[in-house]
Amino acid sequence: MPEPVLVALALGGNLGPVASTLRWAQSRLGRVLDDFRTAPFYRTAALADAPQPDYLNTAVLGRTVLPPDALLAVAKALEHAAGRRPGPRNAPRPLDVDLLLWGDLVLDRPELTLPHPRLRERRFVLQPLADLAPDLALPPDGRTVRELLKEVMEQRVERG
């Protein structure tokens, strides 16, 4: 059996009962990840041209033997079960689940890029991840979550 790999996922949403949807998604991910840990929720403004509700965001960390594509399929199934349907980028959604890291894997494919391509520029992703693993070194350069978070502190993120 393969050795379990450390993975990180970001969860967010801004439609419907977001906090309960995030807790539901966390519980589902806890069924497929070992050594499962969850971060607190953070409230952030939506990244959109048109006005929309603020997002609640969080992160989860765990270990899995699932390959990246299988974990991505779990994430997409959770989004669908929560009511998310295809739509424009940055549109309001009940649940967004992004695979941030899968061990030290660096991958660039149309359906999956690892680490997540915007992980390093978004405080709403780095802040909850820092609550779980501030000294986690990210591929490909080994910079830590804590170091990267210092570079985006001007972005508004409120514990919520």
With contact defined as beta carbons under 8 Å apart, do 61 and 7 qualify? Answer: yes
- Whether the Cβ atoms of residue 8 and residue 100 lie closer than 8 Å to each other: yes
**Annotated catalytic residue: which of 93, 120, 122, 123?**
93
Considering the candidates 69, 84, 89, 156, report the single residue annotated as catalytic.
84
Note if 93 is an active site residue. Answer: yes
Set 35, 85, 89, 96: catalytic member:
96
SS3 100: strand
Catalytic annotation on 69? Answer: no
CA distances from 79 to 12, 35, 96 (A): 10, 23, 6
Catalytic residue among 35, 69, 98, 123: 98
Closest CA to 60 of 106, 11, 117, 13: 11
Torsional sign, CA 4, 30, 131, 17: positive
84 is a catalytic site residue: yes
CA–CA–CA angle 63, 69, 71 (5° rounding): 35
> Is residue 43 flagged as an active site residue?
no
Catalytic residues: 84, 93, 96, 98
